[in-house]
Structure 1
Amino acid sequence: MNRRTLLKSVAAAAVGAPLASLATASSAHALGNYHVAVCEQRMNQILIHPANTRWSPENRVWSWTPPATVENSWRLLSDIKFRDTTAFGWVALVTASGGKVGMVNIGDGDELLWQARPYGNPHSIERIPNIGAVVTASSEQRASDPKGSYPGFLTVYGPTNSDDPSTLASVQTIDYEGAHGLWFDGAHLWALGTWTITKYQVTGSHRDTRLVKVWGYTFPKAFNGHSLDTDHSDSAYLLLTGGGSVHRLNKSTGALTATNPTGVGVKSFSRVASGESFWMQAGLGWTNDYIEFFDNAGNTNPTMRQALEGYGYSAQFYKARLSNVAFS
């Protein structure tokens, strides 16, 4: 898909469909005008739809399917983020539990600008702007340690040219049990795992890029962290999902508070600027065939539900994020 086609499809999607056509949960509310990106594992694809239209092929904004590999290392897509770069504009950062991570050049043939195989069940990826470094989080042991004495780790990739992702190479690994979530807030990189949430300073540049721990918190019992995201309604906070709860972290004070809604098996949770929010709560193993939305009035029960329509199959959603891509 070229960038011109992509721009036209976004404009068409913005028109939307009548809200009456949406699948509903309890008492439906009119969803806001934003895009939702999902990791869909049945067909192993990334899909973006406007929140407030039917999630059907004609309303799809963008999709991407990874290349086939002999070892099937691109199976089970598990994370998607969108970041603006100097050299390529907007790119998609993707991970797959099968072992691969990569960077996709959105709208210019959707080519893979870079891919690597950190192993260990990759669950998250982040890019450090200006430096051009990439960090990944793997929740299981390294391939070089099959007995599992390293139950999770972070991998830092540093470039020789910050504008050329093909020059990225592994420069640091950090043991991190159950590493699942990563988020760069413009000043620090945050990581989330089984027991801990950690703030890192990014030091150096190019192949000298390193993460240095600044602060960390250990939960009194296993939190089993899954997703880490900014709170788009207030950037002073991060949103964390664990095995059975959603927490809000004050980045300045380190204060953690449980927040509504809450529930077991929440793999991702996002809150948009208006206060509206949505999550993916597992119901079919580790996936579900719909995404649930919550209004900004503080209701603890979902007020809207979105599933794929017109695709000819039901989805296996693993993660859903607010898509912040600017196609202009």
Structure 2
Amino acid sequence: MNRRTLLKSAAAIGLGAPLASVAAATPAHAAGNYDVLVTEQVKNKVMLFRAYKEWRPENLGWSWAAPAESAWARLGDARFRESDRYGWVCLVAAGGGRVGMVNFGDDDALLWSATPYGNPHAVEYVRSHGLVVVASSQSSPEVDYEGFLTVYAPTDADAPGTLAPVQRISFSGAHGLWWDGSYLYALGSWTLAKYRITGTLRNSRIELVDKHVWDTVFHGHSLDMDFTDAGRLILNGAGALWTVDKQTLALTNIRPASYGVKSFSRAADGEFFWVQARDVTNPEPGRDLYWNEYVQFFDAAGNPTYRRGLDYYGYEGRFYRSRIASVRLS
């Protein structure tokens, strides 16, 4: 498929914009009428599907396979972001230690990559500064604390190849990142933090604005926008699902007893979906089953509706994260 043709017919979903107008476009499929970006670790690919359609090969909107290198093992995070020079790019992070920026175009070229190590769990792009931030959940050969944020800044905001590490911040169990156009939010084992961006180009840094620290370990995992309310984020931790007020960092528990969730996304109509580890759904003694072969969908009331997997691909997939894609397929 010509990706640039696809891009010409794509509708960009704004960082703070709900999906109501998208869902209303085809009332027969109001539920699930959005695109889902997943990371799949058997073939180590990023894959893009329309939610309500069966995830057959002919319905695959786009995919990208990580290089066959140990540092690219276990793709965990992927998200679309818009850049001034290349248009839409896909940010990817792999548990083996590597992160990168993929050109969502005809060549799907890897525009930039780096190796922060420490089991990277999230990567975010700050378009206004050309900045990239990575959340690593563990220690690395260069960092002895358990979790950290790495900031990469450019000499040319439109040239990812000029990115270089400029800042490293200790952040226990760093798992989630989200840039909402104004602030960067980070989530870890004990802390939810809010940062502003200071400086320009290679002098850019992130500066703490506010934080929430839990009294007991929270094990925060994924962090994303809440499409039902532009003033909130959504996250999972402490065996539950939560919304977060972006101004105050106040949390509201919206679904207790939701254990082993690796990622959680909610659409404008309240429908949501998650990847829940098989350690919880189908435990097998002696195995580390942190993935699931299915993405499970729910209606706005929280009732399971349908699930999506790679049943038509001839193998059992291993999904780690899923999210509503910022790029809309035609």
TM-score normalised by L of structure 1: 0.88
- The 1:262/1:278 distance shift into structure 2, 3 A limit, reads farther
Q: AA paired with 2:196? A: Q
Tell me what 2:122 maps to.
Answer: 124
Report whether the alignment pairs 1:196 with 2:191: yes
* Structure 1 unaligned residues grouped into runs of 5+: 12-28
Tell me what 2:43 maps to.
Answer: 43
CA contact (8 A) 1:190 1:198 kept: yes
Q: AA paired with 1:294? A: F
Partner residue of 1:312 out of 294, 301, 314 = 314
Q: AA paired with 1:208? A: N
Tell me what 1:103 maps to.
Answer: 101
C-alpha offsets along residues 136-156 of structure 1, whole Å, 9 cap, x if unaligned? 0000012124xx4x1110000
Q: Give the distance between the partners of 1:327 and 1:4, measured in 2 at CA.
A: 12
Superposition CA RMSD, Å: 2.1
Alignment of 1:165-204 (within 5 A): 165-204=160-199
CA contact (8 A) 2:4 2:106 kept: no
Which stretches of structure 1, 4 residues or longer, exceed 2 Å deviation after superposition? Answer: 1-11, 29-32
CA contact (8 A) 1:243 1:266 kept: no
Q: Give the distance between the partners of 1:303 and 1:139, measured in 2 at CA.
A: 32
Tell me what 1:75 maps to.
Answer: 73
Alignment of 1:134-283 (within 5 A): 134-145=132-143, 148=144, 150-260=145-255, 262-283=257-278
* Structure 2 unaligned residues grouped into runs of 5+: 12-28, 280-288
Cα displacement (A) at 1:6: 4.1
Which SS does the other structure have where 1:303 is aligned? strand
TM-score normalised by L of structure 2: 0.88
Cα displacement (A) at 1:130: 1.7
Tell me what 2:131 maps to.
Answer: 133
Tell me what 2:20 maps to.
Answer: none
Cα displacement (A) at 1:293: 0.8
Cα displacement (A) at 1:255: 1.4
Cα displacement (A) at 1:294: 1.1
Q: Give the distance between the partners of 1:53 and 1:108, measured in 2 at CA.
A: 24
Q: AA paired with 1:108? A: D
Q: Give the distance between the partners of 2:329 and 2:201, measured in 1 at CA.
A: 29
Cα displacement (A) at 1:254: 2.2
Alignment of 1:18-97 (within 5 A): 31-69=31-69, 72-97=70-95
Q: Give the distance between the partners of 1:272 and 1:239, measured in 2 at CA.
A: 11
Partner residue of 1:293 out of 270, 293, 297 = 297
Cα displacement (A) at 1:310: 1.5
In the alignment of these two chains, the number of paired residues is: 305
CA contact (8 A) 1:242 1:267 kept: no
- The 1:80/1:103 distance shift into structure 2, 3 A limit, reads same
Cα displacement (A) at 1:5: 5.8
Q: AA paired with 1:308? A: L
Using the TM superposition, name which of 246-255 and 126-135 deviates more: 246-255
Q: Give the distance between the partners of 1:167 and 1:320, measured in 2 at CA.
A: 30
Identity %: 51
Using the TM superposition, name which of 226-235 and 249-258 deviates more: 249-258
Cα displacement (A) at 1:213: 0.5
